[in-house]
Amino acid sequence: MTNPLSNSGKPTLPPSTSRSEARSPNSNAAAPAKPTASSQAAQDTVSLGQGRGTDSALTYADPRSILREERPDLASLLEQSERDVAAFMLQLRGIIDEQGLEWNKVFRGEQKLTASVEEIEAAKAAIAEDGEWGVRKTAERILNFALGTSGGDASKLDKLRAAIQDGFDQAREALGGQLPPISEDTYAAVMAELDRWGQEGMPTGPVSLAPKTQDEAAN
């Protein structure tokens, strides 16, 4: 019979067993698998079993993944809006400079632009109720920019309001203390919509101030 104790009185190990194996009995266990694309996709679903011993299950999409997919591309909207504004301002400044006029005096009504009939009609259309530079669309651009910068965080609403207020105040100062009526109407529309956000919550999609249809109003 083999003596399990060595001459020193310490236990001996079988010849086929190394000390590292003795210290780490689980050293040969497989390492945890790293997440893969398929496992990540699985995290975007929720499965509900129908009872013990039942193989079938009800699978629903994770609401968080739906929100990620439906999030509006506000960045693209803002970029296009900025390009439109820049193009319009460049065109307007060119007309004012060509006629030797001053920007502030034109906006205060102290100087008059001369234009062709076609240019006058185009300007009227641009600032009409549904025009590109009318109250509604201008207010929508401001509000979409505010929504994009806030990330839809309702806690930032007061900061948004203060920043917009400051912007209009600076415009008033630059124009001698008073904005054109269309700009004041735009300011009122923006502030009214911010009030609505405070009462009903931040919108989850692009802002539209267009009148609702009968079907939309019913819903």
> pLDDT tens, 147-194?
988 888 999 999 999 999 999 998 888 877 888 888 899 999 999 999
Give the angle subtended at the CA of 63 by the CAs of 57 and 64, to the nearest 5°: 125
Domain coordinates in residue numbering, the chain: 72-208
Residues 156 and 153: their CA atoms lie apart, in Å, by 6
Instruction: Note if the pTM is more than 0.95.
Output: no
- How do residues 3-58 score in pLDDT, each as one tens digit? 544 444 544 445 444 444 444 444 444 455 555 544 444 444 444 444 444 444 44
Q: In whole angstroms, how large is the CA radius of gyration of the chain?
A: 34
What span, in angstroms and rounded, lies between the C-alpha atoms of 179 and 123?
18
